[in-house]
Amino acid sequence: MRKEYDFSHAKRGAVLPVPSGKTRITIRLDDDVIAWFHAQVNAAGGGNYQTLINRALRQLVDAPSEPIERTLRRVVREELRSFSSRRRRASVARG
């Protein structure tokens, strides 16, 4: 290593320029969320977990959103169906 380095022609900022259409941000995510994305990338044999997070967010943004009332009605119907089938099985088992 040299005793001194010449930084007179150095440039400040990111080493790699941010591609057009992208913005560099700082975001705080839960550790388990990051771990899940890392695991997905590792299971796929490599890649970039940040790209995977971006894809997941893109799917959410591009997906047509369902009105909250319709969502609630769908969930209630599914739960009632599930409850009814469990109740029927329990009554058959009792005899």
Does the pTM surpass 0.75? The reply is: no
| Whole-angstrom distance, CA of residue 78 vs CA of residue 84 | 10
Cα 27 to Cα 15: distance, rounded to the nearest angstrom: 20
Residues 59 and 72 in one domain: no
* Domain count for the chain: 2
Q: Is the pLDDT of residue 92 over 80?
A: no
Residue 53 shares a structural domain with residue 82: no
Whether residue 18 lies inside any domain: the answer is: no
> Is 58 in the same domain as 80?
no
Nearest to 53 by CA among 73, 39, 70, 71: 39
E-strand ranges in the chain read: none
pLDDT value for 28: 96
The verdict on 45 and 71 lying in the same domain is no
